[in-house]
């Protein structure tokens, strides 16, 4: 039986979910299938599948969602981005995902394709994540009730969206997405628990009622750490950066240790769940869950 997504009324015991992305080669697809079996066996609330800018990997995303639906017990959740896509194309994409038997979405505006600026008309004219949330609700309303039972997640930005002018504006947008039908949010990456905890506290004071899942990524390499810092909009922790460099730029155990410590602080502060970005590998995220005592023995034998 598929897991159930967290809602505001769900039990407060700590849970977890994962993110994967479509493989880019045959060998990578084989490795991803292996990883997904381990991730599914852990019993996540859901496994989300990314979607490239301009629908660049739309078919591969849909194939992976179908694989999760048909070959695992995990609930698949489909990312959908709007950048450079028109409304009718997006509506068709939503229906295609639903036709594949997947009814849960993460509604995102997304980043422009490489080399395309924010001032490009194809980008500036794109629907917002709020409008995409409304579009998904419209698509569900167009279908029979028994096929439109899915849920919609949205993004939250503890350290601010790149185009936002203030935290207050980020919170206003998140509450507007809640009012448009979003049932929960997943955060962009961050390094310090207080960044998440203060953001959620302020958002709840302003009227947010949906759960906000902190997004965490146990890095393995210095390059991954730099990428996370770029996404987080904050400098990487100096000690972690130094330790990775001293280890030759590769030390998965350091990423696990940092993520465990961060997750412990978040859960103690009231986070309802943790969402783990996997890099299409299962070893590190499952090590995090074991250290947090959130994982029963892996039936696949990881």
The reply to whether 123 falls in a domain is yes
How many residues does the structure list for the chain? 302
Catalytic residue among 19, 85, 134, 195: 19
The reply to whether 190 falls in a domain is yes
The reply to whether 124 falls in a domain is yes
Structure tokens at 299: 């039936």
- Low-confidence spans in the chain with pLDDT less than 50: 1-12
User: What pLDDT is attached to residue 228?
Assistant: 92
The reply to whether 228 falls in a domain is no
User: What pLDDT is attached to residue 14?
Assistant: 76
The reply to whether 204 falls in a domain is yes
The reply to whether 171 falls in a domain is yes
At 227-283, the pLDDT tens digits run: 999 988 899 999 999 999 999 999 999 999 999 999 999 999 999 999 999 999 999
User: Which residues form the domain of 119?
Assistant: 15-220+252-291
The reply to whether 82 falls in a domain is yes
User: What pLDDT is attached to residue 264?
Assistant: 97
Catalytic annotation present for 283: no
The reply to whether 300 falls in a domain is no
Domain count, the chain: 1
- CATH number for the domain that contains residue 129: 3.20.20.220
User: What pLDDT is attached to residue 6?
Assistant: 43
């Amino acid at each position: 039986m598929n897991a159930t997504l967290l809602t505001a009324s769900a039990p407060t015991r700590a849970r977890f979910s994962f993110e994967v992305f479509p493989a880019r080669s045959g060998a990578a697809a084989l490795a991803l299938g292996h990883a997904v079996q381990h991730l599914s066996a852990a019993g996540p609330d859901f496994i989300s599948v990314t979607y490239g800018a301009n629908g660049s990997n739309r078919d591969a995303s849909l194939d992976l969602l179908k694989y999760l639906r048909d070959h695992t017990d995990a609930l698949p959740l489909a990312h959908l981005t709007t950048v450079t896509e028109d409304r009718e194309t997006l509506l068709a994409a939503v229906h295609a995902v639903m036709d594949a038997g997947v009814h849960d979405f993460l509604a995102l505006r997304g980043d422009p394709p490489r080399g395309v600026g924010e001032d490009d008309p194809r980008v500036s004219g794109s629907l917002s994540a709020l409008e995409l949330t409304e579009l998904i609700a419209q698509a569900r309303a167009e279908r029979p009730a028994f096929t439109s039972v899915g849920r919609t997640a949205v993004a939250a930005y503890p350290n601010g969206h790149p185009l936002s002018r203030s935290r207050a504006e980020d919170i206003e947008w998140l509450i507007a997405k809640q009012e448009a039908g979003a049932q929960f949010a997943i955060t962009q990456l961050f390094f310090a628990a207080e960044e998440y905890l203060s953001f959620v506290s302020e958002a709840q004071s302003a009227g947010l009622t949906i759960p906000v899942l902190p997004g965490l990524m146990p890095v393995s390499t210095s390059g991954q750490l730099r990428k996370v810092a770029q996404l987080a909009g904050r400098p990487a922790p100096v000690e972690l950066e130094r330790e990775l460099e001293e280890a030759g730029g590769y030390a998965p155990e350091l990423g696990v240790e940092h993520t465990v410590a961060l997750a412990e602080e978040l859960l103690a502060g009231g986070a309802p769940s943790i969402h783990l970005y996997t890099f299409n590998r299962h070893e590190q995220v499952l090590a995090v869950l074991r250290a947090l005592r959130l994982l029963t023995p892996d039936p696949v034998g990881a």
